[in-house]
Amino acid sequence: MPFEAISTQRLYQKVAGQIAGLIKSGELQPGSRLPPERDLSKRLGVSRPTVREAMIALEISGLVEVRTGSGIYVTARGVDSGFSFDAGPSPFEILGARKLIEPEIAALAAASISGVQLEALRETLGGLAACIEDHSTSLGPDRDFHTLIATASANTALIGIIDGLWDKMFSPIFEALSVRTGLPQNVRMTLADHTAIFERLAAHDGDGAREAMRIHLEHVEVILAEHDDPALMGRTPTRRMAGENMRAIG
């Protein structure tokens, strides 16, 4: 009895695969410019963030290149290349999971957080404040803040979940997307949001901690989703950059 493989492709992979197919078939020639992000979103019937993720996957695979201030172009190599890039869950899937889980973790932590744990959280705020002028070092105190809150929830399963979500945020697509949209430069936003969460935790205000965490993660999502077309601004990702540590994600 013949069996067919079950497709497990993520949406950004499907978009990237369709564009890669057009490149390989010759519909898109080397040097040709792809339509803007907004136009591709309408034509493909997907969100702009999904198109953005697909473009990054295609670039890391070497099928297209971003020319800042000009657009996204098919490379000569792309004509003879297939597409099989998979960097795991998309950045917006990861953020969606965090938005579901972390506000509730914060609410739990508010009920049981100790003085020692609050002091540890306060130290992460100082660490972030020291990173405002050099955001490349902000990842450590940023991640520590979120994992300390999970620890304060007194649920070891939740600690593992938060660690796992942060590990996934080191993917090449998340790295490239955060750099393109300027997220690393938003240490001040992260510090202000973390301070608001800290204050609600210190007051043992579960509802307030939940809401402060929700607002913080929405701020991160808005920066990644609503920035101008990355083909027209900012730094472009490279294979070298895709392997570096991501910075100041939130």
Domains of the chain: 11-80 (1.10.10.10), 91-242 (1.20.120.530)
Pick the residue with more confidence: 96 or 225?
96
Taking Cα atoms as reference points, which of 143, 189, 138 lies closest to residue 168? 143
What is the structure's pLDDT at 2? 54
Pick the residue with more confidence: 199 or 30?
199
Q: What is the pTM (predicted TM-score) of this model?
A: 0.76
Taking Cα atoms as reference points, which of 195, 194, 120 lies closest to residue 151? 120
Cα–Cα distance measured from residue 226 to residue 49, given in angstroms and rounded to the nearest whole number: 8
What is the structure's pLDDT at 170? 80
**Which pair of structure tokens corresponds to residue 4?**
């067919």
Taking Cα atoms as reference points, which of 17, 33, 36 lies closest to residue 25? 17
Please provide residue 87's backbone torsions phi and psi, each rounded to the nearest 5 degrees: -100, 20
What is the structure's pLDDT at 69? 77
Query: Is the pLDDT confidence value at 232 over 80?
Result: no
72 in Cβ contact with 64 (< 8 Å) = yes
247 in Cβ contact with 136 (< 8 Å) = yes
% of residues, the chain, pLDDT over 90: 44
Cα–Cα distance measured from residue 114 to residue 126, given in angstroms and rounded to the nearest whole number: 19
What is the structure's pLDDT at 239? 35
**Which pair of structure tokens corresponds to residue 179?**
């750099």
Query: Is the pLDDT confidence value at 218 over 70?
Result: yes
Amino acid present at 115:
G
CA distances from 229 to 72, 82, 170 (A): 10, 25, 22
Cα–Cα distance measured from residue 64 to residue 52, given in angstroms and rounded to the nearest whole number: 13
What is the mean pLDDT of the segment spanning 40-64? Answer: 89
Quickly state the pLDDT bin for 82 (edges 50, 70, 90).
low
Helix (H) or strand (E) holding 210: helix 206-226
